[in-house]
Structures are given as structure tokens and as C-alpha cells.
Amino acid sequence: MRNYDLAIIDGDGIGPEVNAQAVKALEAAAAVHGFTLTTTPYELGAQTYLDTGTLIDSDTISALQCHDAIMFGAMGDPRVTPGILERGLILRMRRELRQQVNLRPVRLYPGVPTPIKDLDPTRCDFVVVRENTEGMYVGGGSTVHGGTTNAVALQESVNTASAIADVVDYSFRLAGQRRNKLTLCHKKNVLVHAGELWQTIVDEHAARYPSVEVDYVHADAMCQHMPMSPERFDVIVTDNLFGDIISDLGATIQGGLGVAASANLNLDGLAPSMFEPVHGSAPDIAGRGWANPAAAVLSAGMCLAALGEGKAALALENAAASVLGELRELAGPGMGASTDELGDRIVARITSDVTEIDTARISIMTAMAAV
Ligand code: NAI
Ligand code: MG
């Protein structure tokens, strides 16, 4: 029987609460669809850092490297200075495991309330492909005359042609499996050096993928077009910072952080990809059973798609979407059920049957993670 070896990193706050539901749903999907899972927990995050002073060491990175995939909850704790966990742990894992693509689908599921008035769910189904290892997030720069009124802060953006080309090529291949539309999002009228490099590489690839229609939208204009005309987009490719910002807007359009799923995809096949909800550790609601597990479960669906279990991936997505569509509120005490109860409801709806329409959807899902 097929077996997949998963690393489980719960992290902090609501991370363990939602990741437990994701793993529960994965186990259920495995039972229904005829494969098995091996899971290995890793104690990483704020508590481990506070207890031991260690974020992550190279032995742990090497151990993570050997798994088929990683399921990650969230990290962050008010007792830890902002930036320490993000840079020292999350960004380090993404970099060392060469997870060059951060993939964030923006899909409005039927019945899920969106703040965009009268938005028909069929108009909203696109993905943001965010470059995941470079840009402003590398941390290059310096502070001169710090602490004085003459302080100068220099923050550099790193843009490597080869890394951009990998992400752009992935995006074209993905668009080719979807609706054949690719949009570059940048701010090339102001960030002229980085913008020109991104545009040049997109243009080079456009010639190699003639069936894909290509356009360009500035990042600020994107914040207007995404909510007003989401049907305009299929695959949006962008850098690390713009991708972070516009995908949070995407999460809002699709009903909030309780719904937004993501994958950090390794493209060379030599290290695992990592799947996580877009949201953070939500310390304001941790420990109360108020966290919506759907984003984590939908991320688990992406994990199954990446592992080649398309039917099971779709079964998970459908189960989570149907439970989401019934909630009164998408987060907090008004959801009408606890995190764990919602996990159980999702599990109860994981089925084995697949219709013809579903087959088309499966190929879109698996393409996401395996092009
Ligand atoms: P957050 O995403 O943790 O929470 C923002 C708001 O949304 C909060 O009011 C929270 O209660 C709510 N929320 C988030 N997920 C929810 C869910 N599943 N169900 C119901 N409500 C939910 O972002 P915030 O508050 O800015 O950051 C908290 C901590 O998380 C910080 O330490 C931050 O650095 C970290 N963080 C970690 C991320 C990661 O692990 N990849 C990503 C984003 C933030
Ligand atoms: Mg963010």
C-alpha cells in the first residue's frame, strides 16, 4: 500500500489546534482512499525557543529533508521579539528546503460570506504564485547613525535571475494546466531594476509558452482589480513582498484567514514541500477552541495533491468547503462549533466517489503542486 512519510510541525498558539484537525483529515482521507501515513512530530516554535534558546539546528533541517512533506501549523508568540521566529525558523526552513514557490489559491467557496458585495463564487478562482526565498525578505541592508535623528535605514531587495526564472517557469506551466492566463504583478514603474528583471524573464518565457496570455498589473492597482474583477485573474506571479500583501487581500476576498490555504513548494524534488494555513498563531484566541480549522485542512488537501493523491485531495477540499459553507461566522465563538467539532464534521464528509466534473478539478489541483 502507498505510504507517505509526513513531518508534523504544530508550532504555537492555534497552530497545534488547527494542525491536529489537518492531520485528522489526512488520516481519514488515507483510510477512504487506500493509502497510509507515517507522522513524525517536531517540537519547534516559540516555546522550544524560550525553553532551550534554540530555533532550529542543522540536524533538524537534515531530518526534515528526508520526509515526503511537512504539515505546519503556525508560529508566533507575544513573548518573543517579532522577527526572531519568522527569520530564524519559518524563512530558514523555506530557504534551506528550497521551497521557491509560495502558492496561495484564492477560491470563493459557495455559501462562504465574502465582504465583496454580490460576488458570484464562479468569478473567483485564481492562484497567487509568490517567490518565496528572496526579495525584501532576505534581510540585506544596514542602519547608519541608528538611534539618532539622522538614522538612515537601508533595506535591500535581492532578485536573482535564476530564482525568478524558476518561479516564472512554474507559473507558466501552471497557467497551461488552468485557464492559460498569467499576470505579472510588480511595481516596475518605481522599482525599475527589479521590475525590469522580472518583466524581461516573463517576456522570455512568454515566447516559449505561446498559448498562455500574459499581462502586467502594478501591485497597487492589483489591490483594486482583485476584489472588483477577480475573474480577470488565473495565475498571478509576483515577488515575495507583493505576494505577501496581495495574498492577504486574496484571503479577505475568499472569506478570511480561516479559509486561506498555502503551500511552500520545493521545485527540485530533493526536499519536501511544506503546507500551512496563511494565518498566524492567533494568540488572541489560542486555547479556546475558536480557531477555524478549514485553512489548515485545505492546506492538507494541497499536500495530498502534491503527493499525487488527486482524488483524496479533492475529497478533502470538498469536505472542508461544504462545512465552511454552512458556518454562521467563519471565525471565533460565533462559528457554532469548536475547532475539534468542525474537524470531525469535515472528516465525516470525506468520500470516495468522484464525478466527471471532479476529474477536471482534480487535474487542476494536482497540477498546482506537480507541474
Ligand atoms: P494571525 O493570523 O495570527 O491573526 C490575525 C487575526 O485573525 C486574529 O484576530 C486571529 O484571532 C484571527 N485568526 C487567524 N486565524 C484564525 C483562524 N483559523 N480562525 C479564527 N480566527 C483566526 O496574525 P497576527 O495576529 O498578526 O499574528 C499573530 C502571530 O502569528 C505573530 O507572532 C505573527 O508573527 C505570527 N504569524 C505567523 C505566521 C506563520 O506561522 N506562517 C503567519 C502570520 C503571522
Ligand atoms: Mg502575510
- Closest C-alpha to ligand 1, atom 16: 258
**Strand-pair partners of 215:** 183
pLDDT value at position 198?
98
Mutate to test the pocket of ligand 1, among 240, 257, 338 (most ligand atoms within 8 A of CB): 257
Segments in the chain below pLDDT 70: 330-331, 356-357, 367-371
Residues at CB less than 6 angstroms from ligand 1: 14, 18, 74-76, 82, 86, 90, 257-258, 276, 279-285, 291-292, 295, 331-332
145: left (phi over 0), alpha (psi -120 to 50) or beta: left
pLDDT value at position 370?
58
The predicted-structure confidence for 202-229, as pLDDT tens digits, reads as follows: 999 999 999 999 999 999 999 999 999 9
- 278 alpha carbon to ligand 2 midpoint, in Å? 7
Rounded-to-integer distance, Cα 63 and Cα 115, Å = 43
- 246 alpha carbon to ligand 2 midpoint, in Å? 9
- 245 alpha carbon to ligand 2 midpoint, in Å? 6
- Closest C-alpha to ligand 1, atom 34: 76
Report which ligand 1 atom has the smallest distance to the Cα of 77: 32
Instruction: Starting at the earlier edge strand, list the strands of the sheet with 69-74.
Output: 35-42, 2-11, 69-74, 273-277, 261-265, 101-107, 125-131, 235-238, 181-186, 213-218
Which of 276, 360, 266 lies closest to 311, judged by CA?
360
Task: Tell me the ligand closest to 90's alpha carbon.
Answer: 1
- 161 alpha carbon to ligand 1 midpoint, in Å? 33
Report which ligand 1 atom has the smallest distance to the Cα of 276: 41
Report which ligand 1 atom has the smallest distance to the Cα of 291: 19
